[in-house]
Amino acid sequence: MAFDDRYLFVCVGNVDRSVAGEIILRELLEKDGFDVGKLNERRGHDFYVGSAGIEVSEANKPQSIQLTKEMTRRVGRIFSVEDFVTNGLINNYSVPTRKIFQLNIEDGRSLLIEEEAQSLYDEFRRKLADYLSRK
């Protein structure tokens, strides 16, 4: 089974950056006319998008998703937000570097603060433009 239609965003805690990436990629793909499902859904969509964290704290569960090796095997592309996450993907989850696309999204912005969320969304829109499929 090919997983080139499955995208996963990974940050440290799956609170802001990876969640924002998931939201924006879904938005951009849907704007281009694609049907987008959740990462764990079966066939029936053009693309599947999800997010997870490499170090999700107990305080952020269950809304934040802890990354697993199984998740990394089931996706075609993993968007990492920074070096720390990329190194964790390679060293702790055995992800091949060919699957990792590092976006370099700086931490420190909250999705709960409107102007910070907008800044984060705008940065993802700019950085994801090169990775979009077109119908």
- Whether the ω angle into residue 96 lies within 30 degrees of 0, i.e. cis, is no
Q: Residue 134's pLDDT is what?
A: 60
Structure tokens at 104: 């370099």
Closest CA to 86 of 98, 75, 71: 98
pLDDT tops 80 at residue 1: no
Instruction: Tell me the per-residue pLDDT of 59-75, one tens digit each, with 9 for 90 and over.
Output: 888 889 999 999 999 99
Over 89-121, what HEC string results? HHHHHCCCHHHEEECCCCCCCCCCCHHHHHHHH
Range of the domain at 36: 6-65+73-131
Give yes or no for a contact between 20 and 117, defined as CB atoms under 8 angstroms apart: yes
Assess if residue 103 is contained within a domain.
yes
Instruction: Tell me the per-residue pLDDT of 5-16, one tens digit each, with 9 for 90 and over.
Output: 899 999 999 999
pLDDT band at 133 (very low <50, low <70, confident <90, very high): low
What number is the average pLDDT over the span 19-48? 93
Assess if residue 117 is contained within a domain.
yes
- CATH code for the domain in which residue 84 is found: 3.40.50.2300
Assess if residue 88 is contained within a domain.
yes
Number of domains in the chain: 1
Assess if residue 32 is contained within a domain.
yes
Report the distance separating Cα 126 and Cα 135, nearest Å: 19
Assess if residue 58 is contained within a domain.
yes
Q: Residue 42's pLDDT is what?
A: 78
Assess if residue 1 is contained within a domain.
no
This prediction has a pTM of 0.93
Instruction: Tell me the per-residue pLDDT of 30-42, one tens digit each, with 9 for 90 and over.
Output: 999 999 999 988 7
Assess if residue 41 is contained within a domain.
yes
